[in-house]
Amino acid sequence: MTISRRTFTVGSAGTLGLAAHGLLKPAFAQSEPVKIGWLAALTGPSSAPAVGFNRGVMYAVESINAAGGVKGRKIELTTRDTQGDPTKAVNATQEMISAAKVHAIWGPTNSGEALATTPLMARAKMPNLHPCVVDSLIDTGKFPNAFRMAPSNTQWDDAVRNYALKILKAKKVAVIGDTTGYGTAAAKASVEACKKDGAEVVYTAQIDATQPDMTPDMLRMKNAGAEAIISWSTSTGMAARLFNARAGLNWDVPFVGHPSLGSGEVGTLIEKPANWEKVYTINYRSCSFDADGKLPARTQEFLDKSAGKIDLKDTLLWWVVSGVDVINLLAKAVETTGSTDSEGIIKYLNGLNKYPGLFGSYTWTPTEHNGYPTDEIVMGLANSSKSGALKLAPGY
Amino acid sequence: MAFGATLASILSTGLAMGAIYALIGITYNVMYSTSRVMSFTAGQLGMLGGVLGALFTLRLGMPLLVGFALTLLCCAVVGMVTEFVAVRPVLASLDQHLYVLSTLALALIIQQVTAIEWSTEPQAFPRLFGIGSGALDEKFWLPVVACAMTMGALEWMQRKTLVGRAFLAVAEDNFAARALGLPERNLRIASYALAGAIGGIAGYAGGELMLAFFANGAFLNFYGFVPVALGGLGNNRGAIVGGVALGIFQQAANFLVGGIFASVAVFVVFIVVLLAVPQGLFGTSTARRV
Amino acid sequence: MTSLSDAAVEKPAELGHKASALTAAGPFVALAAVAAILPLIGNDYWAVIATRAAIYWVLVAGLNLIVGYAGQLAIGYVSLLTLGAYVTSVLAAGNVLPAMPLAVCFAAAAMTGAIFGVVVGLPALRLRTFYFAISTLGFATIVTQIALAWQSVTGGGIGLTGPEFPKPFDTPWGFYTFCLGVAAFATWITSNVAHSRYGRALVAIRDADVAAEANGISKSRALIPVFLLGGAMAAVAGGLFAVLQTYITPDAFTFDLSVLFFIAILIGGRGSILGPLIGTVVLTILPEFAAPLAAWSTFLYAVLLLVIVLAVPGGIADVLDFHNRRVLTNNRAIVPDPSVLPGLYAGRPAAEPLTMRGVVLAFGGVRALDGVDLTIEPGTVHGLIGPNGSGKTTALNVISGYYALQKGEVRIGDTPLPTGRPELRADLGLARTFQTPRVVAEETVLENVMIGGTVSGRAGFLTTLLALPGRGRDERELAARGRMALRAVGLESLADVRASRLQHSELRFIEIARALMLAPKLLMLDEPAAGLSPDEIARLGDLISAIARHGTAVLLVEHHADLIFAICQHVTVLNLGRVLADGTPADIRSHKEVVSAYLGG
């Protein structure tokens, strides 16, 4: 009922406006800013990705506005810090839809939040781009408005598993996750996929990331004969403790897994640099140094252009560039369709074919909203970070 | 072979964590002894011991000893602040339990400031001596040594020094102590400073094991209170027995049934013991009310 | 005749009561009006925020009885919200059992919540407050961990979809209307409990637990119903929360939520319903205005909590309580009116003697009571005197059950008194006062007195909850009786004043009025004249004599020898835990040892 009333109001206002002001109405629409909502977990635990995304987002918005905006329309960013709390995310989403009346929403950045906000945005037919990996978040039937800007968890899992089984040639693997929502879910999916691929999962566990010593779990993995450890945790403390415990056991089993294994913070937590060897983490071709130590040309060009404007020391490059991509992509959608109409934006995104972003080339169709190409996901050497980019792991 | 290594791991981690829990339990006890107040800041002091240790030594590059001394000093000050802000104003109405709220508020303030100003991710803690490896690594035996030394110092103080005896007198009966002319208020402030320092020692000695992490405060609040409940309120030796028992039980459960069920097991044991023996295993029954 | 005077007393009081009920309802009506026009002026965003406030209130309303009224500091109550959200969602989704209708899901959630409300509350029945606080905290951690680990049921970290409401409640404003209804219902039922003998018992446990026991209030029998209710309400709120969130994962249930619920009550003020309601609304809306401060929100909550505890322990309710700021006249006199006593004693069973035989009680090596024999006849005032430490108060405490005697026995009539069970004394017709008056400072004088009639209430908890006729009858009878008791002790004019504003001497008379609610077989008075003026002591003497004349056996522990000898028919002298002398006042006055040891002759 509410919806129909609002439609009526908007419709009648439009008719009246057209009748009274004639050509003035489109002129007003032309100068109205392009409003983008940005749901970011900027503070609190697990805020590192959003902080990285935010740097890219701010850079892109400033660049576009400095160059005169999108067809003369400035981009107006509405940021809400959700702190990774789904409750706050739901409030903020509804505010962006009903009060701020944004044209598209980027985020939220944590799966727990996205699971709650995605149905809300679908109800409002709000164009939504997000970087959350949980598979069930993309469903073109239920959420035709939601597009994934990053790989899905299955894609991540495929990359990690392929590396562990095919390149490292491990037959017996251990799969671990932390006790957070993401950790438990990702580990479970990973175990199933490994079994399907014929690998023997000799050990699997949910590990409390605050547990001070990881030796018990490492011991059990060692006793079970694991040849590679697949780790699904966003906790850097847990990663470092695992590496330290591995060194304590004089064991040289390789770790493969979540990008946090290569976070700069791990480097400060390990007891000696050698503990971080033989750790391979998810990374992307666009953010990898090749054997000659060079980044892909498109990435290098961006780094040169943005040098001094973005701090890359304590973040990951792919977070920053995907933040840039989102804003550019939405600007492009408005520019191409000539309006901020939500249906138009969604239609534009549905027709995107190999859009050349900095982070990757996105392709979406009306029935497939996982737009990140699997072959751009590679493994990197966890301890090789420079400007947020990693060296390619051996075997590529 | 594997069994031996497992046992060594359970014992080393269990004893170390047990010693940290026991020290936090003693922190609760020392505050309680002079004020009849249990303070939620006890665990936060442990957290601060780790965070400040890392801050002074790693971030600000101070020498180890200076950093250690400053950490203890800061923790003692936080202990005194607890007394001034959260304890003294509500002492008059002890039976309304307002101290639970005021100390909870102060503990949350400490935790949130640390989260915002320090980090919400665990940070590195300096390696202190670089002695030992494996199950005999310093990160395992340091908390045990710290706990033993603290306990020894406390007992020595209570037996041999005037201040220590005055503490005991106040703990026994603070009205009588005041009547005897003991400076009850100053003794209370001193005991909070002492408790702060003990909490700081717990966090500092356990820093290598627990890292400098803001969430350690809430964690230690709970696990540091379990030894108090088990050992009996105000009983330091009971806290040590309770702490070590908890540490080893937790590690064994961790090993046998895994992380999540270990905490469930600890919680269940805690509730069952409390309901069966409300005054704790080594505690005396509560005071008369009428 | 009695009924006639009853009616005469009741009528004006009833009218005044109605008027004050109307002013009390005013703010609620205003809030309801704002809630009702909200859909006409706000957008869907406001619908979500307002719905959230309503849902939180459903939980806070129940928790308010536990924290605000009973003073039990449950700080981890988000655990029960979590429980309710998961039970509802799991049953509605049908991933364990076949999918069930919403009503069944919510009923199951309420039952689970009620059960766990009691489980979490158990430590509160036996342990210090801090232990209870810690155990609720521990439980909050455990529930989240179980939700994460039990993947097959809860979906683990991926969570599961919340239930969906059917038309017309499937739109934001439709669901808002539903939640508003539930919130209004929650307000009504908790208010029914709060303003009943159950509510008064809770407050008595909070502020005067020793007196509560003497008035027949058993901690567990008073607390378990509210733990059940609070748990059920929290779980229902959890179900609604899941609907609002559309999807639940363990990380939606943060400790910050617990803190919010808890602080809403304390900001609102303990022992109030309006205050916590306003607190809940404010704390739900505030973060929406202070979006840039998101990172500091918990910090600000904590500061708020500290400021409230230290500066305004009474909270919003205290600030809004204009009624109690009216100036009381300073030179008011207590003029007891024993003529109403017959009304209080009408229809009571005949009084019986109390006998102590060979009672022994030792603390460590000290025999505080060393074979005491004592008989207190109905209709007499029996004085108990002796030097400090002679065992007078100890004897009182053995009779009242605070101390468990080690040898001997105490009987009222032929019934032996159960050892060490103070909460069973009121039922047997024993009442007492305390050396330091133990009254609930936050409640009105009348409410304090009505606590004395707790055991005579007949309406059960459910009857009270739903305000069925039995509750109203109970309340009317208790209030009328309370006013009569106040008139008897001479404090009727102060009936609606908060007890904290009274003078010390007046508190002593409140305690006597409270004891009179029972028309007791035995009334124990522990130094009732301490701190009273000579005039007041004289009136007190008359009042005590009048009470005894109605059949009550009065045991009077007192240091004012004049009062003892003026009104007692029988005096016992204790020394070092033994009976030194026993007889009429005249006997005692001439007893050589007594005179030398105690009367200082």
Query: Does the CB of C238 have a partner CB in chain A at under 8 Å?
Result: no
Instruction: Annotate C165-216 with DSSP letters as a single string.
Output: PPTTTTSHHHHHHHHHHHHHHHHHHHHHHHTSHHHHHHHHHHH-HHHHHHTT
Residue C393 CA neighbour count, 13 Å, CB half: 15
Q: Which residue has the higher pLDDT, C231 or C209?
A: C231
Confidence of residue A8 (pLDDT cuts 50, 70, 90): very low
Of B12, B13, B259, the CB nearest to A207: B259
Query: Does the CB of A120 have a partner CB in chain C at under 8 Å?
Result: yes
- Spatial distance between the Cα atoms of C430 and C433, rounded to a whole number of angstroms: 11
Q: Considering only alpha carbons, which residue of chain C is nearest residue B278?
A: C127
- Both tokens of residue C399? 């009779």
Tell me, what amino acid is at B259?
A: G
Q: Which residue has the higher pLDDT, C489 or A265?
A: C489
Instruction: Give, in order, the Cα–Cα distances in Å from C532 to each of A302, C206, C366, C509.
Output: 88, 28, 33, 10
pLDDT at position C94: 87
pLDDT at position A1: 33
Instruction: Name the neighbours of A, counting chains with at least 3 Cβ pairs within 8 A.
Output: B, C
Q: Which residue has the higher pLDDT, C160 or C26?
A: C160
Query: Does the CB of C131 have a partner CB in chain A at under 8 Å?
Result: no
User: Distance, in angstroms, between C546 CA and closest chain B CA?
Assistant: 28
User: Distance, in angstroms, between C208 CA and closest chain B CA?
Assistant: 9
Which residue out of C143, C220, C306 would a mutagenesis test of the B interface target, given it has the greatest number of B Cβ atoms within 10 Å?
C306
Q: Across all residues in chain A, what is the average pLDDT?
A: 88
- Spatial distance between the Cα atoms of C20 and C323, rounded to a whole number of angstroms: 10
pLDDT at position C11: 42
The answer to whether residue B1 sits within a structural domain is: no
Query: Does the CB of A122 have a partner CB in chain C at under 8 Å?
Result: no
> B-chain residues within 8 Å CB-CB of A265?
121, 123
Confidence of residue C295 (pLDDT cuts 50, 70, 90): confident
Confidence of residue A9 (pLDDT cuts 50, 70, 90): very low
pLDDT over threshold 90, residue B55: yes
User: Distance, in angstroms, between A360 CA and closest chain B CA?
Assistant: 29
ipTM of the complex: 0.89
The answer to whether residue B130 sits within a structural domain is: yes
- Spatial distance between the Cα atoms of C262 and C140, rounded to a whole number of angstroms: 14
Give yes or no for a contact between A126 and A107, defined as CB atoms under 8 angstroms apart: no
Task: Report the run of H or E that residue A269 belongs to, with start and end.
Answer: helix A264-269
Tell me, what amino acid is at C570?
A: H
Q: Token match 């057209």: residue?
A: A18
Task: Report the run of H or E that residue C373 belongs to, with start and end.
Answer: strand C366-376
Q: Which residue has the higher pLDDT, A7 or C413?
A: C413
Of A48, A212, A236, the CB nearest to B210: A212
Confidence of residue A23 (pLDDT cuts 50, 70, 90): very low
Of C259, C295, C313, the CB nearest to B108: C259
Q: What is the mean pLDDT of residues B52-62?
A: 94
pLDDT over threshold 60, residue C16: no
Strand, helix or coil for residue A147:
strand
Taking only the tens place, the pLDDT of each residue in B150-183 is 999 999 998 888 888 888 888 887 777 777 778 8
| Most confident region among A225-239, C278-292, C311-325 by mean pLDDT | A225-239
Of B109, B222, B274, the CB nearest to C302: B109
Give yes or no for a contact between B219 and B83, defined as CB atoms under 8 angstroms apart: no
The answer to whether residue B23 sits within a structural domain is: yes
User: Distance, in angstroms, between B65 CA and closest chain A CA?
Assistant: 21
pLDDT at position A27: 44
The answer to whether residue B107 sits within a structural domain is: yes
pLDDT at position B98: 84
The answer to whether residue B259 sits within a structural domain is: yes
- Spatial distance between the Cα atoms of A314 and A265, rounded to a whole number of angstroms: 8
Query: Does the CB of C146 have a partner CB in chain B at under 8 Å?
Result: yes
Residues 155-194 of B with CB under 8 A from C: none
Say whether domain A18-152+303-373 belongs to CATH 3.40.50.1820.
no
**Alpha helices (H) in C401-468, listed in sequence order:** 445-451, 461-465
- Spatial distance between the Cα atoms of B75 and C519, rounded to a whole number of angstroms: 58
Locate the domains of chain C by residue range: 40-257, 338-599
Put simply, the answer to whether B290 touches C131 (Cβ < 8 Å) is no
> B-chain residues within 8 Å CB-CB of A210?
210, 213, 215-216, 219
Give yes or no for a contact between B271 and C136, defined as CB atoms under 8 angstroms apart: no
Which residue out of A10, A95, A207, A232 would a mutagenesis test of the C interface target, given it has the greatest number of C Cβ atoms within 10 Å?
A95
Put simply, the answer to whether A185 touches C158 (Cβ < 8 Å) is yes
**CA A170 to centroid of chain Cα atoms:** 28
Of A47, A212, A220, the CB nearest to B13: A212
Q: What percent of chain B has pLDDT over 90?
A: 55
Q: How is domain C338-599 classified at the CATH fold level? A: Rossmann fold (3.40.50)
| Selection from A256, A249, A197, A201 nearest residue A222 by Cα | A249
The answer to whether residue B281 sits within a structural domain is: no
**Residue B64 neighbours by CB under 8 Å, 6+ apart:** B57, B126, B128
**Domain total of chain B:** 1
Put simply, the answer to whether C133 touches B100 (Cβ < 8 Å) is yes
Q: What is the mean pLDDT of residues B116-131?
A: 88
Confidence of residue C2 (pLDDT cuts 50, 70, 90): very low
Q: What is the mean pLDDT of residues C485-497?
A: 93
Strands (E), C392-481: 407-412, 415-416, 430-432
pLDDT over threshold 50, residue C601: no
| Most confident region among B198-207, C268-277, C305-314, C379-388 by mean pLDDT | B198-207
The answer to whether residue B262 sits within a structural domain is: yes
Q: How many CB atoms lie within 10 A of CB C587?
A: 13
- Spatial distance between the Cα atoms of A39 and A272, rounded to a whole number of angstroms: 38
Query: Does the CB of C296 have a partner CB in chain B at under 8 Å?
Result: yes
Of B9, B123, B259, the CB nearest to A268: B123
Put simply, the answer to whether C157 touches A136 (Cβ < 8 Å) is no
pLDDT over threshold 70, residue A24: no
pLDDT over threshold 70, residue C10: no
Q: Considering only alpha carbons, which residue of chain B is nearest residue A177?
A: B259
Which residue out of C66, C134, C148, C303 would a mutagenesis test of the B interface target, given it has the greatest number of B Cβ atoms within 10 Å?
C134
Q: Is 0.80 surpassed by the pTM of this model?
A: yes
Taking only the tens place, the pLDDT of each residue in C387-396 is 888 899 999 9
Q: Token match 């508020």: residue?
A: B105
- Both tokens of residue A15? 């008719």
**CA C121 to centroid of chain Cα atoms:** 16
Q: What is the mean pLDDT of residues C358-378?
A: 90
pLDDT at position C457: 85
User: Distance, in angstroms, between C168 CA and closest chain A CA?
Assistant: 10
pLDDT at position A65: 96
- Spatial distance between the Cα atoms of C208 and C446, rounded to a whole number of angstroms: 16
Task: Report the run of H or E that residue C7 belongs to, with start and end.
Answer: helix C2-41
| Selection from C371, C340, C582 nearest residue C481 by Cα | C340
pLDDT at position A22: 38
Locate the domains of chain A by residue range: 18-152+303-373, 154-290+378-391
pLDDT over threshold 60, residue A75: yes
Domain encompassing residue B68: 11-276
Say which CATH architecture domain A154-290+378-391 belongs to. Answer: 3-Layer(aba) Sandwich (3.40)
Residue C329 CA neighbour count, 13 Å, CB half: 6
Put simply, the answer to whether C251 touches A206 (Cβ < 8 Å) is no
Of A1, A90, A206, the CB nearest to C245: A90
pLDDT at position B225: 93
pLDDT at position C13: 44
Q: Which residue has the higher pLDDT, A29 or C492?
A: C492
pLDDT over threshold 50, residue A19: no
Q: What is the mean pLDDT of residues C560-586?
A: 92
Q: Across all residues in chain C, what is the average pLDDT?
A: 89
**Residue C225 neighbours by CB under 8 Å, 6+ apart:** C198, C461
Crossing angle (nearest 10°) for helices A48-66 and A317-337: 40
**CA C597 to centroid of chain Cα atoms:** 44
Query: Does the CB of C250 have a partner CB in chain A at under 8 Å?
Result: yes
Confidence of residue C23 (pLDDT cuts 50, 70, 90): low
For residue B246, what is the domain's CATH number? 1.10.3470
pLDDT over threshold 90, residue C289: no
- Both tokens of residue C89? 């969602």
pLDDT at position C440: 92
**Residue B156 neighbours by CB under 8 Å, 6+ apart:** B164
- Both tokens of residue A43? 């503070």
Q: Write down how long chain B is.
A: 290
Taking only the tens place, the pLDDT of each residue in C128-142 is 788 888 888 888 888
> C-chain residues within 8 Å CB-CB of B96?
71, 206-207, 313
- Both tokens of residue A371? 């737009």
User: Distance, in angstroms, between C476 CA and closest chain A CA?
Assistant: 45
User: Distance, in angstroms, between C67 CA and closest chain A CA?
Assistant: 24
pLDDT over threshold 80, residue A18: no
Put simply, the answer to whether A179 touches B120 (Cβ < 8 Å) is no
Confidence of residue A47 (pLDDT cuts 50, 70, 90): confident
- Spatial distance between the Cα atoms of A159 and A167, rounded to a whole number of angstroms: 11
pLDDT at position C9: 40
